[in-house]
Amino acid sequence: MSTLPRFELRYFQLMARGLGPALVAEHSGLSWAGNKTLGFNTTDHWAALKPSTPFGQLPLLTVPGSNFQVAQTTAIISYIGRISGSESSATSDRSDLYALSQMLLAEAEDIYNLMVRFLPTPYKRLSSDGVLTSKGTAEDYDAFWAKLLPTHLANLERLLPFTSPASGTSHQKYLCGELHAFAMLYQAHLVRPSIFAGTPGLEGWFDALKTDRRTRSVLSGESPMGKLEKYFLEADSARICELGDERGRWGWGDHLK
């Protein structure tokens, strides 16, 4: 007799806001279903699903056999942490570590919003002479790497260690906010591998989390979520605007910006 998964997770086939929830799901230890195991793809299924979602957006978490839905990235992450006990077991019900997880969750969102503003994507190019988009210019792109992101990385490094190694267990338990922060830094690292040059402690944390088998499962596309493609791009990438453009002709991921 088959057992239904505890929850289902759907998102566009891009990292963007999908990588964090997928990591939290895989690290939760719960049985879950995602894009790959559900056979979900946005090209074929999103238009029909969209009207029934709380805000007309993805990611979306649903519970099999019920009408229960959770929308919004941070709410989904917090919900998974709650039902799996991963937050409470990792923190031993300590309110200070729960607060730290929420801080990291919010910081991850801040970093994501900066990348949305200053990095090109398959839907938007940087602003330039004659082309005004919601993105900054090439100078803003350079300033993001040289000034803005390093400040956030230094602040994160000062908070280390986020959690202590779990004694008597075979693997580290990570805070939900910690996993979401990793998801954003991983996407930045794909574009600029040298981002940790000034924060070696943070780089050590990043490398350890990246090599965790549960993390590897998500990054490789082996998890129930399947393959999530790179979203933020280098300034000279040939993939810029391959799925849409800043003049109003959009593909299925227009809300991602």
Q: For 53-65, write each residue's pLDDT tens digit.
A: 999 999 999 999 9
Predicted local distance difference test score (pLDDT) of residue 197: 98
Q: Quick one: which of 89, 66, 74, 86 has its CA closest to 7?
A: 66
| Listed range (13-17, 103-107, 233-237, 248-252) with the worst mean pLDDT | 248-252
Q: Quick check: bond before 200 cis, omega within 30? A: no
Q: How far apart are CA 74 and CA 194, in angstroms?
A: 28
Q: Is 165's pLDDT higher than 70?
A: no
Predicted local distance difference test score (pLDDT) of residue 247: 54
Q: What is the mean pLDDT of residues 130-135?
A: 89
Q: For 49-100, write each residue's pLDDT tens digit.
A: 999 999 999 999 999 999 999 999 999 999 999 999 877 555 556 788 889 9
Q: For 200-223, write each residue's pLDDT tens digit.
A: 999 999 999 999 999 999 999 999
Q: Hey, what domains does the chain have and what are their CATH numbers?
A: 1-257 (1.20.1050.130)
Furthest C-alpha separation in the chain? 62
Q: What is the mean pLDDT of residues 114-126?
A: 97
End-to-end CA distance of the chain: 43
Cα dist from 171 to 5, 34, 103, 117, 136, whole Å: 23, 23, 23, 36, 41
Neighbouring residues of 151: CB distance < 8 A, sequence distance ≥ 6: none
Q: Is 167's pLDDT higher than 50?
A: no
Is 46 within 8 Å of 252 (Cβ atoms)?
A: yes
